Amino acid sequence: MPSYRAPVRDTLFVLNDVIGYGNHDNLPGFADASPDIIEAILTEGAKLAENVMQPLNRVGDQQGCTRHADGSVTTPKGFDDAYRQYCEGGWMGLAVPAEFGGQGLPYTVHSAVGEYLVSANMALMMYPGLTQGAIAAILAHGTDAQKRKWLPKMVEGAWTGTMNLTEPHCGTDLGLLTSKAVPNGDGSYKISGQKIFISAGEHDLSENIIHLVLARIEGAPAGVKGISLFIVPKVAVDDDGALGESNAVSCGAIEEKMGIHGNATCVMNYDEATGYLLGEENGGLKAMFTMMNEARLGVGLQGHAMGEAAYQGAVDYARERLQGRSLSGPKAPEKKADPIIVHPDIRRNLMSMRAFNEGGRALILLTALKSDIAHLSEDAAERQAAEDHLALMTPVIKGVLTDKGFEHAVMAQQVFGGHGYVEEHGMSQFVRDARIAMIYEGANGIQALDLVGRKLPANGGRAAQAFFRDVAEFCEAHRADEQMAPYTKALKKGLNDLQAASLWLMQNAVQKPDNAGAASYDYMHLFGLVALGLMWGRMIKAAQDRLAGDADGDASFLEAKIVTGRYFMERIMPETVAHLARISTGADTMMALPAEAF
């Protein structure tokens, strides 16, 4: 079983030395979370992850969840206690306003700790994760009465939340959904229909479950314009907050799935269950997107967190497993063989994971900071720029970091050889768990379309242009710096490819939308490489600066940072060329075969 060590020092480096977290103490909540306090919070979160969550990770995978004949669901042994500790520690409401029982701290801090907890136990953390998504939706779209009624208990963790979108015949295309809502006349609705793939749909961790359910009010327009969002509690709540009768909602089955066994993925049946409109009538999709956008960042974080956890497992094994001798002569002549970390191809795997993980962490934290700025800043221009960044990077973080998180879980498993394929070492679980992140909250192909079709052209391309300018300015600013020149050169080359791809899209995709679809996946990954490249440029610069001054005991950490950045620039950035080449071929060949020819 792999052990897990939360990378607190790296998080602090990113926050303090790279993204300038400390420059924002004018924002609400930031003053309460000064760098010292953040370090204390991260350290506490690390302990919870390492000591409470991680030991239950394999237990959860092995036991899974059990549905009983009465429709109730039992979670794996120990999950209830860990969940209780999570709630008692105040982690559920870390970034929720104090008026609803939260701690009102920055979302950036929430994301930093979230990585550790998800690395330690992804399946368990989905219960609070879904709850936080539901809290966000009620905060954004609920009436004052709804917020007062539902939020405090959810923030406390006594009630959890879910998202109910998918139906058997519709996932991506929500316009097809058929669940229906009939007005009761008293402001409430009768909700009926079947939802599938509902994470945390039924379980024994909380006394109530607040389902957010998409349904169609009788007589509503067809398609996505006729969808509304409803709050449907598992157990009725009266005006004093007391629990009443069970609602007509039940778990019909638990899905048998590839991974995240510790999370109950449910078929949910609504049979004239009482529900309450959240947000506007027929405005359900918009309201759901509030949850979806935050959820997409959360899923990107999951991909990243799985890549990090798997990487740590591979490092430990590569340092211990003795097999063969270094090509350049024995490195541990006193042992019967060298540890496999001496072999270049093992290093290739470790360095590739490491370079992505550290870049991904920086991109996630920067984007979380932009989310805080977008929500909290009083400066309209700063807010708009932050919103632009957030909108643009959400599909990139979701699509690229989950693809890579899975790829790296597979790489880490490969380092173990046959021992990676048996379940005993836990590497198979990382692969199986990480796989879902590429699929849910919009499969990665949908993220790519969102980037190319929506985010890129939005507001005349303002967000993308701002990003390109950031990269270009960074390269220009450090071009003459001899220490930085090799990195800015590689980054500039990546930017050139990205801009060429963007230009190709402008010239070819408007009249022929299939060209956009055909290019989208490669474009998303090309974009991700440049976005991670910029983070690497900034991290290398920050490390060089600190090494030139007072490294404060971090010298070997900072030197390793620079080596890892160099690996990214030398070995990973060149992939932009292949992406551009593919993008430029367009859709013709891809779409040429008639469907029956496959």
Residue list 285-304, contact with a copy of itself (CB under 8 A): none
Catalytic annotation present for 441 = yes
Reading the block at residue 29, the tokens are 């909540």
Q: Which of 19, 251, 341, 396 binds a copy of itself (CB under 8 A)?
A: 341
User: Which of 35, 127, 22 shows the shortest CA–CA distance to 85?
Assistant: 127
Interface with a copy of itself in residues 515-574 (CB under 8 A)? 516-518, 520-521, 556, 559-560, 563-564, 566-567, 570-571, 574
Determine, following the binding rule CB under 8 A, whether residue 59 of this chain makes contact with a copy of itself: no
Distance CA 473, CA 562 (A): 21
* Cβ-based nearer residue to a copy of itself, 37 or 176: 176
Distance CA 201, CA 264 (A): 7
Q: Which of 336, 378, 480, 552 binds a copy of itself (CB under 8 A)?
A: 336
* Cβ-based nearer residue to a copy of itself, 385 or 449: 449
Q: How far is the CB of 270 from a copy of itself (least distance, A)?
A: 19
Q: What is the CA radius of gyration of the chain?
A: 24
Q: Which stretch binds a copy of itself (CB under 8 A): 95-103, 166-174, 224-232, 367-375?
A: 166-174
- Local structure of 208: helix, strand or coil: strand
Reading the block at residue 308, the tokens are 């990090």
Burial 169-197 (b: 16+ CB within 10 A, else e): eebeebeebebbbeeeeeebbbbbbbbbb
Determine, following the binding rule CB under 8 A, whether residue 215 of this chain makes contact with a copy of itself: no
Reading the block at residue 463, the tokens are 């967000």
Three-state SS for 552-589 is CCCHHHHHHHHHHHHHHHHHHCCHHHHHHHHHCCCCCC
Q: Which of 37, 40, 258, 506 binds a copy of itself (CB under 8 A)?
A: 258
Distance CA 558, CA 554 (A): 6
* Cβ-based nearer residue to a copy of itself, 8 or 560: 560
C-alpha dist (Å) from residue 248 to 267, 268, 271, 404: 14, 10, 5, 41
* Cβ-based nearer residue to a copy of itself, 240 or 589: 589
Q: How far is the CB of 89 from a copy of itself (least distance, A)?
A: 30
Determine, following the binding rule CB under 8 A, whether residue 489 of this chain makes contact with a copy of itself: no
Q: Which stretch binds a copy of itself (CB under 8 A): 8-16, 27-35, 181-189, 511-519?
A: 511-519
User: Which of 95, 87, 598 shows the shortest CA–CA distance to 369?
Assistant: 95
Candidates 156, 441, 473, 482; catalytic one: 441
Q: How many residues sit in the footprint of a copy of itself (CB under 8 A)?
A: 96
Distance CA 536, CA 557 (A): 15
* Cβ-based nearer residue to a copy of itself, 41 or 542: 542
In a 13 Å sphere around the CA of 381, the CA atoms on its Cβ side amount to 1
User: Which of 75, 56, 439, 79 shows the shortest CA–CA distance to 264?
Assistant: 75
Q: How far is the CB of 190 from a copy of itself (least distance, A)?
A: 25
Determine, following the binding rule CB under 8 A, whether residue 333 of this chain makes contact with a copy of itself: no
C-alpha dist (Å) from residue 452 to 367, 395, 501: 19, 10, 11
Determine, following the binding rule CB under 8 A, whether residue 351 of this chain makes contact with a copy of itself: yes
Q: How far is the CB of 268 from a copy of itself (least distance, A)?
A: 14
Interface with a copy of itself in residues 403-442 (CB under 8 A)? 406, 410, 413-414, 417-418, 420-424, 428, 431-432, 435-436, 438-440
Determine, following the binding rule CB under 8 A, whether residue 476 of this chain makes contact with a copy of itself: no
Q: Which of 128, 339, 395, 533 binds a copy of itself (CB under 8 A)?
A: 339
Determine, following the binding rule CB under 8 A, whether residue 67 of this chain makes contact with a copy of itself: no
Determine, following the binding rule CB under 8 A, whether residue 256 of this chain makes contact with a copy of itself: yes
- Local structure of 67: helix, strand or coil: strand
Interface with a copy of itself in residues 352-371 (CB under 8 A)? 354
Angle formed by the axes of helices 485-508 and 575-583, to 10°?
10
Q: Which stretch binds a copy of itself (CB under 8 A): 65-73, 143-151, 316-324, 361-369?
A: 316-324
Q: Counting Cβ atoms within 10 Å, is residue 580 exposed (0-12), middle (13-18) or buried (19+)?
A: buried
List active site positions: 441
